[in-house]
Amino acid sequence: MRSLLILDKMLFVVFICAAQAMNNRNKDWFLLDKQDNIPEFSEYTNGDTVPVTCIQRRIDGGIHKIDARKNIIFKGFPKCKETNDFLRFSYKTNQDFTCTIHLADELFHLFQLYIHEDAPFSCRLPIIKEKKTADKHGLSVPLTFNFRGRSSENYIDIDNNMNVIVQAPSGYNSIVSAVGWSSGTNLTRVIVGDYLPLHFSVRWLHNAEPKYSNNIETPFTDGFYALPNSVSYNFGKQLTLVGLVIGILSSIITYYISYNFLLKKTKKFGFPVPNKFEDGGENGLVKKD
């Protein structure tokens, strides 16, 4: 029985190692630059400005605008009346502030699309300090503002309280992900030409320190991983195959060990055993001495 326990432990270890190997093989570094290389990072420092730029869309359907090179056009979040500047966050600094925007005709109709979910309010944050370098090489993470409300032809009812969560990796001053969503319980009605105060609550989260390191040559340990699209199918199929092979081998070995164990007990107490295993005795019987 001790042999069976040892065998089960060995098979379990083999299974875990195989799964971990396939898991590591299926990991891709995120983000890569436009040449599919791991970029060189220039770290933020606490309090640095983190600009928010957003996709420019057409009011007829919310289709994004593109430039002459077929690149999607990004511009700053609508200017805040309080600062007369585009929306910005401060790196690793929790903030509560108001940004009042002017709902001119085009922006009003875009907000109708955002609230009706005909188009997402898609923005981005640079993961490195130099915004121009980040824009040039596509080094940014998405930030989508999800506004709750009701949209009609002449007015908008909108929850203008916005929670924003930004996550930073451990051991390196960059940005991993961000999301924004309406967090209030009341709606504010606005029409074309109104000023809309947006009340932001921005909070920064930090990844826990990784327990294990699989990639010590990357800018920071175990961070910025994104599973490829095929992981749910290929990894599951490979894992099933490994499990099937291990299960078959385990069954064969267990059957062999168990049969020998029972055969010895059968001999000891004089019970019948198959003729091919015993030559003595009639009809395969072994008599107890």
pLDDT tens sequence across 138-176: 789 999 999 999 999 999 999 999 999 999 987 788 999
- Single out the residue in 177, 200, 226 at which a domain terminates: 226
Q: Is residue 84 part of a domain?
A: yes
- Please check whether residue 110 lies inside any domain of the structure: yes
**Domain enclosing residue 273, as ranges:** 2-12+235-284
Angle between the N-to-C axes of helices 236-269 and 2-25, in degrees from 0 to 180, rounded to the nearest 10: 170
Number of folded domains that form the chain: 2
Q: How confident is the model at residue 267 (pLDDT cuts 50, 70, 90)?
A: low
For residue range 43-63, list pLDDT tens digits in order. Answer: 899 999 999 999 999 998 889
pTM: 0.64
Last residue of a domain, one of 226, 248, 275: 226
Given a cut of 80, is residue 284 above it in pLDDT?
no
Q: Does residue 103 sit within a domain? A: yes
CB atoms within 10 A of CB 124: 22
Distance CA 42, CA 131 (A): 10
CB–CB of 140/117 below 8 Å? no
Q: Whole-number mean pLDDT of the chain? A: 78
Beta-bridge partners for 72: 66
Residue 225: its pLDDT value, please? 44
